């Protein structure tokens, strides 16, 4: 029972369900690189790398944000604040996941191994940035945007241009929905002097910039499809993603209280719908 409770607390700490944002794009890149199925070994290694990298990023965030989370009514009951995980436990978990990620990268190939170190620096940078720069939203986007590049490296051992296009699209997609999500903490961030765009420029500017970011995301996903010379269903994926992002903005524009619905539901489905259409595209070609 203690183990089950620990697992539940750990899952609450790292919010494992948010992995749905990056995992589909890792697999999209691996499928395009392999022009189809890339093998069970790489599937396992890809999942392990993605999970350990995301665990590391979330644990660093929770560790560095202990003081902020304790003051915010929305986050004051998180496991990093209420005593369920001590500072020492958090530091150990950060180190374990970092070592595990580096070890998995080593098994994948040399390029993955050498890039694992700067990747960890980027993943851990988000929490620092929001204390002094509004660019934190883009840093978070970059953290998830590295996923498709990592997927291509796992299969090819190189960084093809189409993977960069896909990555830039993911970066602006994530930064855009993080802007919307940050609207919930706008007043708190103002009070604490945090550098979120909502706290600095207000809700109207934030929602306008989120639309710009999501437009850029769709454009770069179109560049990805073109550069990778994919087919009809891949273009359909771009159109579907544009429609889903438009719906997300419709939800938030209509009612700020629906931000969670827009954040989790729409963005959670988006990646898997795009992945499904890319799989179909590879099958029919």
* 236-271 residue pLDDT tens: 999 999 999 998 888 877 666 566 666 667 777 899
In this prediction, residue 67 carries a pLDDT of 75
In this prediction, residue 109 carries a pLDDT of 95
Q: Check whether 164 has a pLDDT greater than 90.
A: yes
Residue 152 pLDDT level (bands cut at 50, 70, 90): very high
Q: Which of 92-101, 122-131, 273-282 has the lowest mean pLDDT?
A: 122-131
Domain boundaries, the chain: 20-284
In this prediction, residue 134 carries a pLDDT of 74
In this prediction, residue 115 carries a pLDDT of 93
Q: How many CB atoms lie within 10 A of CB 122?
A: 14
Q: How many residues does the chain have?
A: 285
CB 176 within 8 A of CB 214: yes
Return the closest-CA partner of residue 32 out of 196, 237, 255. Answer: 237
Q: How many CB atoms lie within 10 A of CB 93?
A: 21
pTM assigned to the model: 0.90
- Cα of first residue to Cα of last residue in the chain, in angstroms, is 50
Q: Check whether 16 has a pLDDT greater than 70.
A: no
What CA–CA distance (Å, rounded) separates 218 from 245? 9
- What's the mean per-residue pLDDT of the chain? 86
- In CATH terms, 20-284 corresponds, of 1.10.357.140, 3.40.50.720, 2.60.40.1840, 1.10.3720.10, to 1.10.357.140
Q: How many CB atoms lie within 10 A of CB 62?
A: 23
In this prediction, residue 2 carries a pLDDT of 73
Any idea which residue has 């183990």 for tokens? 3
Q: Which residue has the higher pLDDT, 9 or 45?
A: 45
**What angle, rounded to 10 degrees, do the helices at 40-64 and 2-14 form?**
80
At 218-233, the pLDDT tens digits run 999 999 999 999 999 9
Q: Which residue has the higher pLDDT, 154 or 84?
A: 154
In this prediction, residue 263 carries a pLDDT of 64
Of all residues in the chain, the percent with pLDDT exceeding 90 is: 47
């Amino acid at each position: 029972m203690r183990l089950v409770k620990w697992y539940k607390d750990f899952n609450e700490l790292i919010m494992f369900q948010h992995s749905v944002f990056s995992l589909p794009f890792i697999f999209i890149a691996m499928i395009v690189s392999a022009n189809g199925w890339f093998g069970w070994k790489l599937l396992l290694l890809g999942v392990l790398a993605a999970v350990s990298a995301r665990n590391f990023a979330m644990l660093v965030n929770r560790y560095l944000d202990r003081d902020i989370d304790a003051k915010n009514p929305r986050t004051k009951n998180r496991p990093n604040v209420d005593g369920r995980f001590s500072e020492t436990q958090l530091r150990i978990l950060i180190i374990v996941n970092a070592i595990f990620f580096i070890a998995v990268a080593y098994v994948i190939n040399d390029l993955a191994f050498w890039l694992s170190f700067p990747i960890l620096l980027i993943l851990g940078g988000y929490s620092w940035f929001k204390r002094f720069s509004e660019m934190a939203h883009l840093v978070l986007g970059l953290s998830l945007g590295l996923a498709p590049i990592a997927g291509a490296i796992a299969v090819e051992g190189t960084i093809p241009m189409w993977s960069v296009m896909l990555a830039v699209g993911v970066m602006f997609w994530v930064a855009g929905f993080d802007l919307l999500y940050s609207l919930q903490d706008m007043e708190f961030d103002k009070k604490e002097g945090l550098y979120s765009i909502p706290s600095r420029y207000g809700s109207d500017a934030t929602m306008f910039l989120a639309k710009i970011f999501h437009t850029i995301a769709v454009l770069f996903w179109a560049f990805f499809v073109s550069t990778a010379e994919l087919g009809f269903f891949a273009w359909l994926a771009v159109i579907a993603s544009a429609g889903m992002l438009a719906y997300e903005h419709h939800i938030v524009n209509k009612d700020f209280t629906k931000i969670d619905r827009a954040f989790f539901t729409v963005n959670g489905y988006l990646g898997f719908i795009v992945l499904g259409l890319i799989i179909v595209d590879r099958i029919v070609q």
